[in-house]
Structure 1
Amino acid sequence: MPLRYTLRQLEYFVAVGETGSIAAASQQVNVSSPSISAGISQLEEELGVKLFVRYHAQGLTPTLAGRKLLDQAQTVLRQAAAMRDLAGDLSGSIRGPLAVGCLSTFAQIVLPGLRRSFIEQYSEVRISQIEADQAEIFGMLRQARIDLALTYDLDLPNDLRFFPILDLPPTVALSETHPLAHLPAVSIHELAPYPMVLLDLPLSADYFLSFFVKAGLRANIAERTRDMAVMRSLVANGFGYSIVNVRPLHDVAPDGKPLRFIPLTGQQRPMRLGVLVSEGTERTQLHKAFMKHAETWIAAHQGRLLGVKA
């Protein structure tokens, strides 16, 4: 008798297995919690095994059978995605779903406009997006939760492939009353004695602090935040300077206070913005179309990313 489970049920199963709860899985796949619960129950009935054990304090934990089937379900979903991509290649059409990840530090500046421009050209493509830090992006690509990601060339692993688009040099953000704000440019040695507001994201923080290590100095970290908007407001209110690679178009913090951005001198490595993919996925028509469009769109908007006024 043939099995009658669906790819959608497998998607729910994998989402719950990865997140550990129906509520978190609901947010991940953008489907209501009752629908996911029903899908899991139907899948358990069809397969004849219990997939999860519920612990009130820990959420849902896969059973022994559930863990084994979870690996197989992930493989089936990857193969189904590959089949979809192959069909698109054979038909020569650019269509279907595309899950795009983006580094959270610049997602608000890049991704919405790029998405809108792409779907206006390719109306049969359905894009979903997720913002994450660099380590999370690596994991989502490996788990096939996203098809590709817009990110930096930070600590890239060998099993992922990066296509560079634009170099973004480091820039210092200061309040207008900061003692260094009048300078046309500033060095690491000049910054080191002053309090720093560190954008404390995985790998990004190490990148910023490497400037000081290379110069034999220690950064005077006064504040840490994982939020770009909070960082800008802390700087504008005099809690310290910060270092960024993508400048806002307007030199104003979210709370309305003014900011000043000046170049960081020395041979500091720029961040290289580009597209990161799992090996081989760049060969599909949909991926090729998005990557080419991203390259064109980012090149056309590089002034905005570098903070150059029109």
Structure 2
Amino acid sequence: MPLRFTLRQLEYLVAVGEAGSIAVAAERVNVSSPSISAAIAQLEQEFGLQLFIRRHAQGLTLTQGGRQFVAEARAVLAAAGRLSDLANSITGQVRGRVAVGCLVTFAQMVLPRVRRSFCDLHPDVEFQQFELDQAEIFAGLRAARLDVALTYELDIPPDLTFVPLLRLAPHAVLHERHPLAGRAFVTPADLAPLPMILLDLPFSTDYFLDLFRPTGQRPNVVERTRDLGVVRSMVANGFGYSIANIRPASAAAPDGTPLHFVKLVGPEPLALGLVLSEGALSALTIRAFVEHCRETVTEATLPGLVIGGG
């Protein structure tokens, strides 16, 4: 009797196995929690095997058999992906699914525009996007939840490959009446004694703090938040300065209050680019996306950003 299950159900199984939570898995694969629950129940019924132990307070834990099934499901999904890549290579068509991550700090300013132009060129591609921090991007690539990600060149591990696209100089983000707002540039030493609103995300935090290391000073961090919009609104309302490499052309916080950007001299510009797992470029769809980003993630084609200048 043939088994009745789908690759999509196996994808959901792997997502839950890695997340230990239906809600988190649903967020990762962009479907509803009931769809995930139904897929897991159908797989357990089909195989006559309990794959998870349900604990109300602690989420889901894989059974011993469930761990084996998740490992095999990963292998099946990888084999299916290779078949799709082979078909694309034979036909020369860019199609199938591509899962693209983007660093949350600039996703809203870069990813939708890149996605729109890529999908217009390749309408047979099923595009999935995920806004993540740097640690989540690395984990997603290693677990094959992501095919490629747009991010900064921040502590890229040796098992992943970085493809640079742009170099972005850091800027001090100030409210319009800040004493330093009228300067052509500032230095880390100028900023160190002043109250700082820190964007507190994995890898990003260390980058911002390391900008002050050559001065022998530590910045005066008075607030930390993981939300870039909150950072900008706090700065715009006079609670401190911040630092950003992405400089939007619209110099206003989410609450509409004006912001002022002043170039930060001393630190080297930070590369924005693509990070991929080893062997990812063997897939035609991923190669097509990388080449598309080379053409579209440029100073000339991202009008919502100010790439250079003070």
TM class, shorter-length: over 0.9
After superposing the two structures, state which structure 1 stretch, 174-183 or 163-172, moved more.
Answer: 174-183
| Offset at residue 34 of structure 1 (A) | 3.6
| Contact 1:168/1:306 (8 A) holds in 2 | no
Question: Counterpart amino acid of 2:100?
Answer: V
Determine the structure 2 residue equivalent to 1:33.
Answer: 33
| 1:87–1:223 CA distance, 2 compared to 1 (3 A) | same
Determine the structure 2 residue equivalent to 1:229.
Answer: 229
Give the aligned length: 308
Equivalent runs, 1:121-160 vs 2, <5 Å: 121-160=121-160
Residues in 2 aligned to 1:29 and 1:251: alpha-carbon distance in whole angstroms: 33
1:85 matched to 2:85? The reply is: yes
Residues in 2 aligned to 1:26 and 1:187: alpha-carbon distance in whole angstroms: 44
| CA shift digits 1:208-266 (9 cap, x unpaired) | 11111122111000111111111111111111111100011111111121111111112
Equivalent runs, 1:158-169 vs 2, <5 Å: 158-169=158-169
Question: Counterpart amino acid of 2:46?
Answer: E
Residues in 2 aligned to 1:60 and 1:173: alpha-carbon distance in whole angstroms: 43
After superposing the two structures, state which structure 1 stretch, 164-173 or 77-86, moved more.
Answer: 77-86
Residues in 1 aligned to 2:156 and 2:308: alpha-carbon distance in whole angstroms: 29
| TM superposition score normalised by structure 1 | 0.94
Q: Which runs of 5+ in 2 are unaligned?
A: none
Equivalent runs, 1:156-305 vs 2, <5 Å: 156-266=156-266, 268-299=267-298, 300-302=300-302, 304-305=304-305
Q: Match of 1:305, SS?
A: coil
| CA shift digits 1:56-107 (9 cap, x unpaired) | 1112111111112212211221221122112111110011111110000000
| Contact 2:196/2:222 (8 A) holds in 1 | yes
Q: Match of 2:250, SS?
A: coil
| Contact 1:174/1:241 (8 A) holds in 2 | yes
| Contact 1:249/1:307 (8 A) holds in 2 | no
Residues in 1 aligned to 2:29 and 2:302: alpha-carbon distance in whole angstroms: 32
After superposing the two structures, state which structure 1 stretch, 34-43 or 235-244, moved more.
Answer: 34-43
Question: Counterpart amino acid of 1:178?
Answer: H
Residues in 2 aligned to 1:131 and 1:102: alpha-carbon distance in whole angstroms: 5
Residues in 2 aligned to 1:247 and 1:264: alpha-carbon distance in whole angstroms: 12
Identity among equivalent positions (%) equals 55
| Contact 1:14/1:73 (8 A) holds in 2 | yes
| Contact 2:28/2:130 (8 A) holds in 1 | no
Residues in 1 aligned to 2:79 and 2:180: alpha-carbon distance in whole angstroms: 56
| Contact 1:249/1:308 (8 A) holds in 2 | no
| Offset at residue 291 of structure 1 (A) | 0.7
Determine the structure 1 residue equivalent to 2:104.
Answer: 104
Residues in 2 aligned to 1:35 and 1:298: alpha-carbon distance in whole angstroms: 35
